[in-house]
Amino acid sequence: MRKLIVLVLLLGIAMPSHAAFKATTVAAEGALSQIRRQAAATKQFLVTRRALMVAPTVSSTIPLAVIEHLAQVIPALTTLAATPGLLAYAQAQLSDPTYDIVAEFNAMRTMMISTRDNLITMFPKDANNFILYQTINAAGILTPRTFTAAQVAPAVALMDTLIATID
């Protein structure tokens, strides 16, 4: 085989060319599918947590769960959005030239960050920046801190806006 390649090169004979494997389209298809699934799951998660956060008393475990969820989702979506060929593939799939998928994705991601950051800021912290979210009684029973609906209302408003960015 090696001698044939050298002979072909010396004589200038054209070898049949093969098109490259279209892995980018496959990767873009998978990334778009994952972004859509994650956005839908995040919306459902937020709708459920929001319903709990409008109660008169809100356990600190609920906003903490939202913080942790968004802390995982934001970098995952950011990584998926950087998939080569994703934008062209997504635009072709949507078949709607008036829909700005980049602006909509960025609006969703920005609201995720704003919601996460608001919830982080809301939590009381000690001098070393440890969040104060539980108490312990003499028997060793841990009780989550509670917030009032008014205390979490700004975060709920941001969650409402974030939920609205996901169709």
- Provide the residue ranges of all domains of the chain, joining segments of one domain with +: 22-164
Residue 123 CA to residue 126 CA, distance in Å, equals: 10
Per-residue model confidence (pLDDT) at position 16: 52
Q: Are the C-beta atoms of 159 and 46 separated by less than 8 Å?
A: yes
Helix residue spans in the chain (DSSP H): 2-11, 23-53, 61-81, 86-94, 101-122, 149-164
Per-residue model confidence (pLDDT) at position 97: 82
Q: Count CB atoms within 10 A of the CB of residue 14.
A: 6
Per-residue model confidence (pLDDT) at position 82: 93
Tokens of 167: 């169709």
Q: Are the C-beta atoms of 123 and 63 separated by less than 8 Å?
A: yes
Q: Are the C-beta atoms of 153 and 146 separated by less than 8 Å?
A: no
Side chain identity at 73, as an amino acid letter? V
Half-sphere exposure of 123 (CA within 13 A, CB side): 25
Q: How confident is the model at residue 26 (pLDDT cuts 50, 70, 90)?
A: low
Q: What Å distances lie between residue 127 and 87, 124, 130, CA to CA?
A: 45, 10, 7
What is the pTM (predicted TM-score) of this model? 0.81
**When comparing pLDDT for 64 and 93, which is higher?**
64
Q: What's the rounded mean pLDDT across residues 61-86?
A: 96
Q: Are the C-beta atoms of 119 and 62 separated by less than 8 Å?
A: no
Give the range with max mean pLDDT: 12-16, 99-103, 138-142: 138-142
Per-residue model confidence (pLDDT) at position 131: 94
- Which of these ranges, 10-19, 47-56, 71-80, 91-100, has the smallest mean pLDDT? 10-19
Per-residue model confidence (pLDDT) at position 5: 41
Per-residue model confidence (pLDDT) at position 21: 52
Q: Which residues are paired to 144 by β-bridges?
A: 134
